Amino acid sequence: MTISLHPSTLPAVLSPVLTPFKEDGSPDAQKLLKQCQWLEANGVGQAIFGTNSEANSMSAPQKMGTLTTLIEGGLNPAHMMPGTGATSIDATVNMTRHAVQHKCAGVLMLPPFYYKDVTDDGLFAYFSEVIQKVGDARLQVYIYNIPPVTKINLSLSLLERLAKEYPKTVVGMKDSSGDWSYTESVIKLLAPSGFRVYAGSEVFLMRTLRAGGVGCISATANVNPRAIAELAAHWRESDADQRQMDLDQVRSIFAQYQMIAGMKTAVAHYSKDSEWLRVRPPLMQLSADQQAKLLGELQKINFSMPGL
């Protein structure tokens, strides 16, 4: 078969960056810029407005305004993959067009997640209409598969159809199914033609890279960026399996808590900025007891977030 690799400026590891919020509930773009710069300095790209960014608790204008501020603040759009998927095609088109106009290397696009039991034809029509309305050859779409949240399964045949119909536009995916056999099937089917598969957790990083995927877009890249980026860079070396085990240990601590509130607890602690604790309803901050327990467990493994 013809190999038509899509060149990409995106790194192997991206973080769905936690969003700091002001007291009035609006995103704090300046604080977010600082956080993104810290991630960049640790070798991690920015998939802002992902699940862990509380993206669906923000309006499209809030997200677009924040993206503008980040790029005007000097963040490199070549390392950015903003989330632009929404249940409304118009909102998705507006956010996607805005990201492309700001030269972001890609966008991460959820399927329309409100209606359940929808057909592949319906999902294809959604993505197709968005791509055609954006109408920009620079657009690079990464499909975001997260069935534990959306309750929508993206079939292999749907992904294959999208990649064949839009080979220069639908260029990859983030798979947060947590089902390794599915991730591996997508890699085997589509990676030979240049489709770039990111695992949705660093727990699958080694398996993804060994199978022919490109890396991971992972929650805990928010708090443990350098170690994850270093494994992606050195996955062929003899200590790679030990590095993977070390990453899994950190992840398992955060996984005992609501992940977003837990990671915000760590950022607030290590940056000495309690404003980072804020989350948007319906999420809630960890209780004082939970915060103390989480930080105690991190201390036991000598965890730190240097330079934050």
- Closest by CA to 110, choosing from 146, 162, 82, 155, is 146
Q: Which CATH number fits domain 13-235: 3.50.50.60, 1.25.40.10, 3.40.50.280, 3.20.20.70?
A: 3.20.20.70
Read off the DSSP letter of residue 78: G
- Closest by CA to 6, choosing from 107, 148, 140, is 140
Q: How confident is residue 69, by pLDDT bands cut at 50, 70 and 90?
A: very high
Cβ burial 52-77 (10 Å sphere, 16+ → b, else e)? bbbbbbbebebbbbbbebbbeeebbb
Output the CA torsion 105→40→50→299 (10° steps): 160
Q: For 134-177, how does the pLDDT look when each residue is reduced to its tens digit (9 = 90+)?
A: 999 999 999 999 999 999 999 999 999 999 999 999 999 999 99
Q: For 197-227, how does the pLDDT look when each residue is reduced to its tens digit (9 = 90+)?
A: 999 999 999 999 999 999 999 999 999 999 9
Q: For 83-114, how does the pLDDT look when each residue is reduced to its tens digit (9 = 90+)?
A: 999 999 999 999 999 999 999 999 999 999 99
Q: Which of 63, 126, 142, 174 is catalytic?
A: 174
Element (H, E) at 172: strand 170-175
Q: How confident is residue 6, by pLDDT bands cut at 50, 70 and 90?
A: low
- Closest by CA to 23, choosing from 208, 280, 296, is 280
Residues 6+ apart with CB under 8 A from 203: 247, 248, 251
264 classed as catalytic: no
Q: Which of 63, 126, 142, 144 is catalytic?
A: 144
Q: How confident is residue 131, by pLDDT bands cut at 50, 70 and 90?
A: very high
Query: In the prediction, which pLDDT does 7 show?
Result: 78
Query: In the prediction, which pLDDT does 1 show?
Result: 37
174 classed as catalytic: yes
Q: For the residues 57-86, what does the mean pLDDT come to?
A: 98
217 labelled binding-site residue: yes
Query: In the prediction, which pLDDT does 194 show?
Result: 96
Distances (CA, A) of 228 to 176, 209, 244, 245, 260: 17, 13, 8, 11, 18
Output the CA torsion 59→61→67→69 (10° steps): -120
